Structure 1
């Protein structure tokens, strides 16, 4: 049976925000009892909440869950634990009532994994899911996980498979997307962090026949180190790794808009 961690996060959120308003911490044991979860399993729930706060640049809400020493456990990375009082003060003073529960999409039992699977296989669902999820932090997490699934956990340019360095790259940037385009896997590439940055800066792109295209294949903008070349000019013209199923390939309409944004038109093959 799949455990719905997002639904647990949905129930944990108001408990933690109420503690923040009351200026109180809560132990792992207390929270586990309230959720009906063994306290050792809370790390999965708290990981979702912590990631959301980090993505949205919110105060570190999970700093309120403490062990017997009165400090957060080892999974807490959202703030310097040596400045615990400072982080706790930020959490206590924040108006959490202004934020809708970011895990409300799971209130009816819908699992995070079900949404990811739907996004990775059915691009037409992106608009409905975006309306359901609403918050940017959760949406971007879903988008990345859907791309991980579609690209089988491998970078589209290099075949790198270290999950910690694989990122969701929007072809048409989030800021200029329509809401229904922000979770469309066809508007994304799974890239390592280096190529994500190069793509966002317009130094590398993807052609309509799905080849990697670098802005300086003739090396006029050097000097380049050998590792620079491996990550740039030596990839030029190579076919990118395709997602599965093939219907999840980058859509030409998104590529066109990206090419226009970065003025690639005169530099691409006809």
Structure 2
């Protein structure tokens, strides 16, 4: 049976908040005992909480969990342990009451993997998942994980497969998307971090027949190095790597909105 680490994180969150309010640390064993798991598996739970705090740019809450030496374990990366006191003070001074438990979606035992599957199997019902998750950091992580699955861990432009370098790009930006659009994998495209940045800036886009378009194919905006050309001009009008299932391909309405937002329409091929 799959272990529901999200549910465990839901249970651990208020315990850590309680420790923060008291200005106290808590050991791995103490936390494990409180949520009913062995202390050696606590690190998996802390990983979820740590990732959330880093994504949301919150104080490093997991700095409160310490080993016998009185310091966080090796998996703690949210703060420089050489400046432990500074990180600890940020945590205990923060008003955690303004933050809802980010793992409340798992309070009834629903598993993270089930929600990912729902995004893939029924993308038209993405708003239901967003309503359960509520938190931007968790929602965006889920969105990326769903795109990793549908794109088989390969960048849509380069087929780069280093997953640590792959990001979930929203076609309609998060800030301009509805709740449903924010989690709809058809409003997403899996890109490496470089192309994600250019895509968000409108320097590249995709066409309705799924080709990548670069804004300066004639190289009139300045000099380009060979590597610049390799990653931009050389990919101009090349077909992109798409999910096997056509139901997961980017929708035309999202692509058209990206064109509109970045004033692409008059510059697209065949326009």
TM over 0.5: yes
Q: Which residue is equivalent to 1:11?
A: 11
Q: Which residue is equivalent to 1:174?
A: 174
Supply the distance in 1 between the matched residues of 2:216 and 2:124 (Cα, whole angstroms).
Answer: 36
- Secondary structure of 1:156's aligned partner: coil
- Secondary structure of 1:130's aligned partner: helix
Measured after TM superposition, the shift of residue 90 of structure 1 is 0.9
Measured after TM superposition, the shift of residue 221 of structure 1 is 2.1
Supply the distance in 2 between the matched residues of 1:100 and 1:224 (Cα, whole angstroms).
Answer: 48
Q: Which residue is equivalent to 1:185?
A: 185
1:98 aligns with 2:107: no
- Secondary structure of 2:143's aligned partner: helix
Supply the distance in 2 between the matched residues of 1:157 and 1:67 (Cα, whole angstroms).
Answer: 44
Is the contact made by 1:121 and 1:248 (CA closer than 8 Å) also made in structure 2?
Answer: no
- Secondary structure of 1:189's aligned partner: strand
Structure 2 alignment gaps of length 5 or more: none
Root mean square deviation, CA, Å: 1.0
Per-residue deviation, residues 69-118 of structure 1 (Å, max 9, x unmatched): 11111111111111111111111111212211110101111110111111
1:39 aligns with 2:39: yes
Measured after TM superposition, the shift of residue 121 of structure 1 is 2.3
Distance 1:244 1:45, change over 3 A: farther
Measured after TM superposition, the shift of residue 46 of structure 1 is 0.8
Matches within 5 A, 1:122-201: 122-201=122-201
Q: Which residue is equivalent to 2:56?
A: 56
Measured after TM superposition, the shift of residue 251 of structure 1 is 0.7
Q: Which residue is equivalent to 1:251?
A: 251
Is the contact made by 1:206 and 1:212 (CA closer than 8 Å) also made in structure 2?
Answer: yes
Q: Which residue is equivalent to 2:76?
A: 76
Q: Which residue is equivalent to 1:111?
A: 111
Supply the distance in 1 between the matched residues of 2:160 and 2:135 (Cα, whole angstroms).
Answer: 29
Per-residue deviation, residues 3-58 of structure 1 (Å, max 9, x unmatched): 11100100000110001011110111111122222222222211110111111111
Is the contact made by 1:8 and 1:35 (CA closer than 8 Å) also made in structure 2?
Answer: yes
Is the contact made by 1:121 and 1:245 (CA closer than 8 Å) also made in structure 2?
Answer: no
1:88 aligns with 2:88: yes
- Secondary structure of 1:12's aligned partner: helix
In the superposition, the TM-score normalised over structure 2's length comes to: 0.97
Is the contact made by 1:186 and 1:249 (CA closer than 8 Å) also made in structure 2?
Answer: yes
Supply the distance in 2 between the matched residues of 1:234 and 1:37 (Cα, whole angstroms).
Answer: 53
In the superposition, the TM-score normalised over structure 1's length comes to: 0.98
Structure 1 alignment gaps of length 5 or more: none
Count of residue correspondences? 270
Supply the distance in 2 between the matched residues of 1:227 and 1:3 (Cα, whole angstroms).
Answer: 44
Supply the distance in 1 between the matched residues of 2:11 and 2:131 (Cα, whole angstroms).
Answer: 20
